[in-house]
Amino acid sequence: MAAVLLSSSAFFFFLTTIFLFSISSWEVEAHPVSTLINKKLYNNLFLHKDDTACPANDFYTYRSFIEATKYFPRFGSTGSLATRKREIAAFLAQISHETTGGWATAPDGPYSWGLCFKEEVNPGSNYCDSTNKEWPCYPGKSYKGRGPIQLSWNYNYGQAGKALGFDGLKNPEVVANNSLIAFKTAIWFWMTEQKPKPSCHNVMVGRYVLTQADMAANRTVGFGMVTNIINGGLECGIGSDARVNDRIGYFKRYASLFGVQTGPNLDCENQKSF
């Protein structure tokens, strides 16, 4: 076979093309979430997160969110394209409710005000479970809700800190002071199974198989089960609930912006909590 000779300029162009293709391919593989939600879409989801009316303004940055996702390679990268988009939309909907600053007649609607708060206002307690000896409370510390998922209780702070490399018991305030850590705690909670609860991730990507206990409790796979995992003790099994409906409202808006269906079983009004 005859050899093909390239001029120096053509050879340089060839190498440059291969290099750029390799970089582009690496970025798609290494950062799958950023290929599904760019900065423009992120800002459209959270239209008012940086308003001066929101105590968390300028805290929940797109860069911190994307950086946090890199620590959890299965997040937003499992299943079909529609499944991946639906999981991200569901996650963002849940953290939006947890941090919402919206109200019924809010500008752009109540579901445009996610990520407005970074810590719980006027907590009813310091969320210290003194009976938990594995994750003992540190004197003078409050384990109130902080971050996108409103991480609460000493045992959650302790476990999150151990998994993510910070001292959640002695320094729980870091979740409200460091944007990257804040997002990492939320995705950690989303990805982590805490038996008998499955992980929110496995539920949303269709990898969770209902148990006999689930069926007896009328729990069904879908967004409603995710709500049950996050706050079922207060919101599920009590009929129609405004908090559950707020979560669903966010999810419907975000799913529409992602161009996917929400899937069935959105509420948990007839489910027993875990």
- The per-residue b/e assignment along 211-228, b for 16 or more CB within 10 angstroms, e otherwise, is eeebeebebbbbbbbbbb
Q: Which is it for the CA torsion 191, 211, 274, 242, positive or negative?
A: positive
Name the catalytic one among 27, 87, 98, 119: 98
102, 92, 99: which is closest to 117 by C-alpha? 99
| Tokens found for residue 50 | 């940086």
CA distance 216 to 198: 16
Whether residue 98 lies in the annotated active site: yes
CA distance 125 to 8: 72
CA distance 188 to 230: 13
> Tokens 């729990």 sit at which residue?
219
CA distance 37 to 46: 12
> Tokens 């709500």 sit at which residue?
227
Yes or no: say if 69 and 76 are a contact pair by the CB < 8 Å rule: yes
Phi and psi, residue 31, nearest 5°: -130, 65
Yes or no: say if 241 and 97 are a contact pair by the CB < 8 Å rule: no
> Tokens 């006999």 sit at which residue?
212
- Residues annotated as catalytic (active site), given as ranges: 98
